[in-house]
Structure 1
Amino acid sequence: MHATPRAGYGVRVTADLVYVVAGGTLLLAVLLPQLLRHWAVSAPMVLVAVGMLVGLTPLPDALPLDPQENRAVIEHVTELTVLIALMGVGLAIDRPLNLLRRSSWGGWSPTWRLLAVAMPLTIGSVALLGWAAGLAPAVALLLGAVLAPTDPVLASDVQVAGPRGGDRDEVDGDDDVRFSLTSEAGLNDGLAFPFVYAAVLLATEGAVGGWALEWVGFYLVGKIVIGVLVGLVVGRLLAALAFRGRDSSDAPTVAERGESLLALAALLSAYGVGEVAGGYGFLAVFTCAMTLRSAERGHDYHRAMHEVVERLERLFTLFVLLVLGIALTRGLLATLDWRGVLVGVALVGVVRPLAGYVALAPWARQPDEVGGTTTPEKWAVAFFGVRGVGSLYYLAYAAGESPDLGGDWLWSTVAFTLVLSVLVHGVLATPVMARIDRARGR
């Protein structure tokens, strides 16, 4: 008689624990920024540590922590987290970019260098490390592509502060270190996708000769162009709606009403249209956010939209990190070996810093120019390539395309690298950026 209720008891407890974890994450997201403001400790570090402690307690076995069994859930949660972060980054950047005005490109010089030089060097170096350690070529390439995207959201001291209002037709108020890291993260989350597809094609189609032209023409060029165009169109349409959408009764516009949920409508619309059109939705979202930001640049409405997105971004990111911390002490690192440790340490301590500096040093702009950096600032940008939630998303996505690309070792290695990055960059961000600010007189 009592078998049915008892059979469902474990499921009920697991569901209740999800509420506890979500509530605890929300509380920590509210309290941690204030509590940690005087310490060289970041909120992500605390969430991962708390998660690891929770993982050591006697929890129900039914908790959805196994990446093999819960790949689809991981993919969708991390996908939404990355999308929210991209919208926030696009709205936060004050520095304008007009694709039709070559003069505006110079201020983005560090970004182009990091994307065109540092990212391919990072992918290639990590892939070679993996291949030398005995990984199959497709798995090695995927490892490089998965660990390439950066995410300065996980170290708040190295991201721009957000929209500041006022008219800034030529420059913004953000320093070039924070701007470079934030803009790089906004774009490389989408630009890493072609290399993820290359790994998937290598695993499923075999020899490169059979799909190389398709990859270059469609995955590397076509989908990028489509994503950017969709973002521009959706952004312009929504900007017109927000700032010039009066009806015959002269009712206030969306911007005048301060309806900040338009940012979420823009996020979902840009991503959905971008994916349906066959482009990279991540690029569509970032481009849409930048296009919205360029309309009525001095309007306070941008700040209102950014605040909504920033809160969601913080909540989702910290929730993912808390669950990741729980998984770390519940078997996620069981297959981690010396090869995974080598890849993680090499990426954080050697590969990214060297690749970033090689990208930024030659023929660089002068420090007193927009987009120019001093030598210490170049090293700071090169070093603070924080790995984040995007790496988990790409791995989950690739694993859904080919079982060969979702092995336990890959999950262990990516998780280890992410946590190592959160720890190292979280500890060093505050003192390093404070020193750079003092040197610039800020």
Structure 2
Amino acid sequence: MPDPYILVLFLVGALIALVAWLPLVFRRAPLSLPIVCVGLGAVLFSLPQVGFDPLPQSHPEITERLTEFVVIIALMGAGLKIDRIFNLGRWGVTWRLLGVTMTLSIAAIALLGYGVLGLGVAGAILLAGSLAPTDPVLASDIQVGAPRQGREDEVRFGLTSEAGLNDGLAFPFVHLAIALALVASGEKGEWFAEWLTVNVLWETGAGLVVGWLIGWLFGWLTFTIPVSTRLAATRDGFIVLAATFISYSVTEMLHCYGFLAVFITALAFRHADRDHDFHIEMHDFIEQIERMAMMVVLVLFGGALASGLLAPLRPLDMAVACAIVLVVRPLAGMAGFIGWKAPLREKMILSFFGIRGVGSFYYLAYGLNAAPFEGGDRLWALVGLICLMSILLHGVTVTPVMRWFDRREGRDPDAGEGAAALAGRGASS
């Protein structure tokens, strides 16, 4: 048996190689990198030689921090690659997905959790807050392309912008669940005024403002100050990592929503000089970190599945999980598009691809670490099953569906990203 350290190096190297190579293999195949990572994790942690327990309940703090890191990296990448200038009218699809689709999803999941599964009010709301947002990490396969790539249709833009902004709506409900759980345990008395003024109004509003200010500051330092000292002259992708960490940490120190701030920072950073090539370099750098971090989380998720994460499930839980993935999001999505003048195919794709994943893991870990909830293992099993279903179902369907959609829109689905990027640069020059 090789030295465990040497074996770990080999496995990490093999996984990194797969992360770099598999996207090329799966560009036309009905398969995705997340599916492979989950499968590898399940196989790896099924080996008797592996003694590490990857269950999230066994490592609650590590689970929260690791998933938190992956999400903020994904949010920065999502914000940087949006070409569309922020405008209330032009972002109409986003407001429909957030204001109607996500709100209906939260209400429906909470009702299913409380009325069908028998979860307490706090547990049902935590489940709804964790599962309602579209995941910015695993939804990357259906998001817009790199900056100035020229592939920003309503479907890709809608899902990208929704994944970036939905934390501002999900987090208040997670905090609502925490407040109710603390009241039920006797650790908290009056809660509504604090929840409304702090968790809803202050943390959301201040997150937007702080995120914009930090994005403006980094944009000024990178593109506006004299050429010899501006950060763009470094051509160093680490700048975007600095912006991510500073935005998130400053916002969290002010007790605001860091996820929301990071996405707004990315939008403001991009707006500072929309056509600068340095945005492409920063996006490519942050995307590589995102894929590596995602790989780690999904391998551990596969290991958790192999270690019994889904053991607490009951037959009724499985039926509700299917309803959440196959009925709740699609119907809530179609309801959000009532009156929206767009082809039916766009509405159906936007409604179907409400992908659940790493963000849901974070919200659940955050909630369970902040307050005592009954049935924590069952909540983890429910979220794990729904995320697994989403990874498999959406991972298998995203490539053929989007290739079909591109053809119907008159685009060549086989056009290389490099050619598209060059075309975008030529159009903007």
Q: Shared fold (TM-score greater than 0.5)? A: yes
Q: Deviations over 1:261-297 (max 9, x none)?
A: 1101100110011111121011110000000011110
Tell me, what secondary structure is at the counterpart of 2:90?
A: helix
In structure 1, the residue matched to 2:415 is: none
In structure 2, the residue matched to 1:148 is: 132
In structure 1, the residue matched to 2:376 is: 407
Query: Equivalent of 1:375, from 344, 361, 376?
Result: 344
Query: Equivalent of 1:128, from 88, 111, 114?
Result: 111
Displacement, 1:190?
Answer: 3.8
C-alpha distance 328-310 of structure 1, shift in aligned 2 (>3 A): same
Displacement, 1:20?
Answer: 5.0
Q: Residues 122 and 355 of structure 1 are in contact (CA less than 8 Å); yes or no, is this contact kept in structure 2?
A: yes
Displacement, 1:66?
Answer: 2.6
C-alpha distance 196-155 of structure 1, shift in aligned 2 (>3 A): closer
In structure 2, the residue matched to 1:308 is: 285
In structure 1, the residue matched to 2:202 is: 222
Q: Deviations over 1:326-352 (max 9, x none)?
A: 110111111122233123211110000
Is the counterpart of residue 59 in structure 1 residue 55 in structure 2?
no
Tell me, what secondary structure is at the counterpart of 2:147?
A: coil
Tell me, what secondary structure is at the counterpart of 2:307?
A: helix
**Aligned letter for 1:440?**
E
Q: Deviations over 1:82-134 (max 9, x none)?
A: 0000000010111111xxxxxx2111101011111111111111111111221
Query: Equivalent of 1:419, from 382, 388, 399?
Result: 388
Report 1:195-234 matches (<5 A): 195-206=173-184, 210-234=190-214
Is the counterpart of residue 435 in structure 1 residue 404 in structure 2?
yes
**Aligned letter for 1:137?**
V
In structure 2, the residue matched to 1:68 is: 57
C-alpha distance 152-283 of structure 1, shift in aligned 2 (>3 A): closer
CA RMSD of aligned residues (A): 2.0
Query: Equivalent of 1:237, from 217, 221, 226?
Result: 217
Q: Deviations over 1:127-186 (max 9, x none)?
A: 111112211111111111111111254254411112017xxxxxx750000100011001
Q: Is the deviation greater in 300-309 or in 431-440?
A: 431-440
Distance 1:223 1:412 in 2: 30
Q: Residues 181 and 372 of structure 2 are in contact (CA less than 8 Å); yes or no, is this contact kept in structure 1?
A: no
Query: Equivalent of 1:115, from 75, 78, 98?
Result: 98
C-alpha distance 16-120 of structure 1, shift in aligned 2 (>3 A): farther
Distance 1:209 1:403 in 2: 15
Query: Equivalent of 1:268, from 234, 237, 245?
Result: 245
Q: Residues 67 and 74 of structure 1 are in contact (CA less than 8 Å); yes or no, is this contact kept in structure 2?
A: yes
In structure 2, the residue matched to 1:286 is: 263
Distance 1:219 1:76 in 2: 20
Query: Equivalent of 2:34, from 44, 52, 55?
Result: 44
C-alpha distance 413-110 of structure 1, shift in aligned 2 (>3 A): same
Distance 1:381 1:405 in 2: 34
**Aligned letter for 2:190?**
G
Is the counterpart of residue 191 in structure 1 residue 181 in structure 2?
no
Distance 2:279 2:247 in 1: 17
Displacement, 1:379?
Answer: 0.9
Distance 1:17 1:86 in 2: 33
**Aligned letter for 2:84?**
R
Distance 1:399 1:16 in 2: 36
In structure 2, the residue matched to 1:398 is: 367
**Aligned letter for 1:159?**
Q
Tell me, what secondary structure is at the counterpart of 1:327?
A: helix
In structure 2, the residue matched to 1:83 is: 72
C-alpha distance 24-190 of structure 1, shift in aligned 2 (>3 A): farther
Distance 1:26 1:190 in 2: 33
Q: Residues 101 and 335 of structure 2 are in contact (CA less than 8 Å); yes or no, is this contact kept in structure 1?
A: yes
Aligned residues: 407
Identity level (%): 44
C-alpha distance 177-209 of structure 1, shift in aligned 2 (>3 A): farther
Query: Equivalent of 2:15, from 22, 25, 45?
Result: 25
In structure 1, the residue matched to 2:416 is: none
In structure 2, the residue matched to 1:3 is: none
C-alpha distance 438-187 of structure 1, shift in aligned 2 (>3 A): same
Normalised by the size of structure 1, how large is the TM-score? Answer: 0.88
